[in-house]
Amino acid sequence: MALNATTRFSDNYELKEELGKGAFSIVRRCVQKSTGLEFAAKIINTKKLSARDFQKLEREARICRKLQHPNIVRLHDSIQEESFHYLVFDLVTGGELFEDIVAREFYSEADASHCIQQILESVNHCHQNGVVHRDLKPENLLLASKAKGAAVKLADFGLAIEVQGEQQAWFGFAGTPGYLSPEVLKKEPYGKPVDIWACGVILYILLVGYPPFWDEDQHRLYAQIKAGAYDYPSPEWDTVTPEAKNLINQMLTVNPAKRITAAEALKHPWICQRERVASVVHRQETVDCLKKFNARRKLKGAILTTMLATRNFSSRSIINKKSDGSNVKESTDSSTTIEEDDVKEKSKGVVDRSSTVIAKEPEDVRLTATAKTCSQLPSNWNGSARKQEILKLTEQLLEAISAGDYETYAKICDPHVTSFEPEALGNLVEGLEFHKFFFDNLLGKNCKSINTLILNPHIHLMGEDAACIAYVRLTQFVDKQGQAHTQQNEETRVWYRRDGKWLNVHFHRSGASTPCTLPYHQNK
């Protein structure tokens, strides 16, 4: 892998179509001119980076340069120019491992063993080279190609750190909520074992299609993890071999000093003797559960991307407490990953949740079905009746806005509703006070008549108690001067049912503000 400080990227590569995009970077397919080989180029606009961000970029590149393994997405080239830094990676075309599994005609415990073996091989290589990934999760497990039997590849070393030997230290609060280890949540010194804990969570999901730790409330989720409180419920675990459960138990050991290592896990009978030990019976229920698990996390990721549209590469979420009690959160990163690496601890063992989040789900945004097992999920997963109910609720909410009826609006919205909207100037707003100002001073006061239409609604149901609706909102109104206007906005709303009542817990609205119609509009 070359590090080129003088060569221009365009001398060696020809850029092709866009593959992905962030606030400070874009990923495009590229072709190496000398060989015709295809790669993925991550292009970072370094002018937008702070000094701390630039250090993180250099750390990621340095780590990727020393990791060369068939189960790791390889960095082939790193080119620094005046305003841009180019990282040239393997072009990985097979998509996510978890998405591939649900598309297979046959999937068994032995297949799960082969998957986790490849993941452990990549983790073992990282650990042998003094690297801790810190963000192992399904989104970072990719397939080299769409060919049958393609290699699993570990990706995204943006949170990875370098350690000396078996060094344990406090490297900051980093990871993804459901995959965080007890020692990280307790803010204790940690090291390589955090990756093994995440592997244990992944293996659990690979076998039954749902995670070992889950709660609607993030505080309770973290309490579960810190206590290592998971189980193997019937009937889905009855058909899993004892050896598989034994490996999970050794991975999900709360004490990191007693947790199995990657090298040891690779020698476990369920891994190295899978032909003899692992079951080869097709696990259709696992595939069905995994489909729903994938759908939930995809929607969750889409919602968080919407919520956190203005990406903060330095991974901070600063919540400004206002005198009225509402919160205005500066926008943050676009994944569910969390990172805090230089915020001082306020108290031993307590996560400072007001300053440690790259993309924490607001505590009142419930995006996943409460059921822990697949069998508890509703049979009418795509039930049209509930979709109609969500559409009707959305119509009622928009009617309240058009009428300037704050009382009705407040009854439909969660008290801690979060929102992205033009009036908030790119910030994530929490609470109703920000909206109430517009109800009290503008809504219904500047227009003679208002008509609102919902166009092309798309509704996603997430279990029985959560849903997301995306639509185009077309608003016609006549201003006080008798002039007719039409305004179009794109909106996404997240609904959650609490104690039998649906509440709007988050929304995102794009488009320009108008004088008197859409919620909380300023009179420009």
pLDDT, residue 351, reads 31
**Residue linked to tokens 């006080």:** 480
Q: Answer whether residue 370 is part of any domain.
A: no
pLDDT, residue 326, reads 33
Instruction: Name the band, by pLDDT with cuts 50, 70 and 90, for residue 304.
Output: low
Of 90, 113, 141, which marks where a domain is finished? 90
Instruction: Name the band, by pLDDT with cuts 50, 70 and 90, for residue 253.
Output: very high
Of 237, 261, 282, which marks where a domain is finished? 282
Q: For residue 454, what is the domain's CATH number?
A: 3.10.450.50
Q: Answer whether residue 487 is part of any domain.
A: yes
pLDDT, residue 317, reads 34
Instruction: Name the band, by pLDDT with cuts 50, 70 and 90, for residue 133.
Output: very high
pLDDT, residue 468, reads 92
Q: Are residues 108 and 241 in the same domain?
A: yes
Instruction: Indicate if the pLDDT at residue 328 is higher than 70.
Output: no
How far apart, in whole angstroms, are the C-alpha atoms of residue 299 and residue 297? 5
Give the pTM.
Answer: 0.64
Instruction: Indicate if the pLDDT at residue 9 is higher than 50.
Output: yes
Q: Answer whether residue 99 is part of any domain.
A: yes
Q: Are residues 104 and 249 in the same domain?
A: yes
Q: For residue 77, what is the domain's CATH number?
A: 3.30.200.20
Q: Are residues 52 and 101 in the same domain?
A: no
Instruction: Name the band, by pLDDT with cuts 50, 70 and 90, for residue 362.
Output: very low
pLDDT, residue 485, reads 77
Q: What is the tens place of the pLDDT at every residue in 82-112?
A: 889 999 999 999 989 998 998 888 999 999 9
Q: Are residues 36 and 64 in the same domain?
A: yes
Q: Is the peptide bond before 235 cis (omega within 30 degrees of 0)?
A: yes
Q: Are residues 241 and 125 in the same domain?
A: yes
Q: Answer whether residue 311 is part of any domain.
A: no
Q: Are residues 207 and 122 in the same domain?
A: yes
pLDDT, residue 312, reads 39
Q: What is the tens place of the pLDDT at every residue in 205-236?
A: 999 999 999 887 888 999 999 999 999 999 99
- Residues linked to residue 507 through DSSP beta bridges, in sequence order: 419, 493
User: Across 48-52, 171-175, 206-210, which has the greatest mean pLDDT?
Assistant: 206-210
Give the sign of the dihedral formed by CA 61, CA 67, CA 73, CA 74. Answer: positive
Once rounded to an integer, what is the mean pLDDT over residues 433-456? 74
Pick from 50-59, 384-393, 402-411, 481-490: least confident: 481-490
More confident residue, 248 or 358: 248
Q: Could you list the residues known to form a binding site for ATP, using ranges.
A: 42
DSSP 111-159: HHHHHHHHHHHHHHHHHHTTEE----SGGGEEES-SSTTPPEEE---TT
Q: Report whether 33 contacts 14 (CB < 8 A).
A: yes
Q: Are residues 431 and 410 in the same domain?
A: yes
Q: Answer whether residue 164 is part of any domain.
A: yes
Of 90, 115, 139, which marks where a domain is finished? 90
User: Across 138-142, 244-248, 474-478, which has the greatest mean pLDDT?
Assistant: 244-248
Instruction: Indicate if the pLDDT at residue 439 is higher than 60.
Output: yes
pLDDT, residue 110, reads 95
pLDDT, residue 336, reads 56
Q: Tokens representing 370? A: 């409460």
Q: Are residues 500 and 395 in the same domain?
A: yes
Once rounded to an integer, what is the mean pLDDT over residues 425-438? 82
Instruction: Indicate if the pLDDT at residue 511 is higher than 80.
Output: no
More confident residue, 452 or 274: 274
Once rounded to an integer, what is the mean pLDDT over residues 335-350? 46
Q: Tokens representing 363? A: 């505590």
The burial of 240, by beta-carbon neighbours within 10 Å (0-12 exposed, 13-18 middle, 19 or more buried), is given as buried
Q: How many domains would you assign to the chain?
A: 3
Residue 278: how many CB atoms within 10 A of its CB? Answer: 22
Q: Answer whether residue 332 is part of any domain.
A: no
Instruction: Indicate if the pLDDT at residue 350 is higher than 70.
Output: no
Question: Active-site residue numbers?
Answer: 135
Q: Are residues 102 and 248 in the same domain?
A: yes
Q: Are residues 168 and 31 in the same domain?
A: no
Q: Print the domain residue range for 107.
A: 95-282
**Phi then psi for 474, rounded to 5 degrees?**
-110, 120
Q: Are residues 150 and 55 in the same domain?
A: no
Q: Report whether 124 contacts 167 (CB < 8 A).
A: no
How far apart, in whole angstroms, are the C-alpha atoms of residue 425 and residue 437? 16
Q: Answer whether residue 17 is part of any domain.
A: yes
Once rounded to an integer, what is the mean pLDDT over residues 58-84? 93
Q: For residue 139, what is the domain's CATH number?
A: 1.10.510.10
Mean pLDDT of the chain: 79
Instruction: Indicate if the pLDDT at residue 411 is higher than 80.
Output: yes
Once rounded to an integer, what is the mean pLDDT over residues 115-128? 97
pLDDT, residue 320, reads 36
pLDDT, residue 299, reads 66
Q: Are residues 248 and 111 in the same domain?
A: yes
What is the b/e burial string over 110-139, where b = at least 16 CB atoms within 10 angstroms of the residue's CB? bbbbebbbbbbbbbbbbbeebbbbbbbbbb
Q: Report whether 44 contacts 119 (CB < 8 A).
A: no
Q: Could you list the residues known to form a binding site, using ranges.
A: 42
Q: Answer whether residue 357 is part of any domain.
A: no
Q: Within 13 A of 329's CA, how many CA atoms are on the CB side?
A: 31
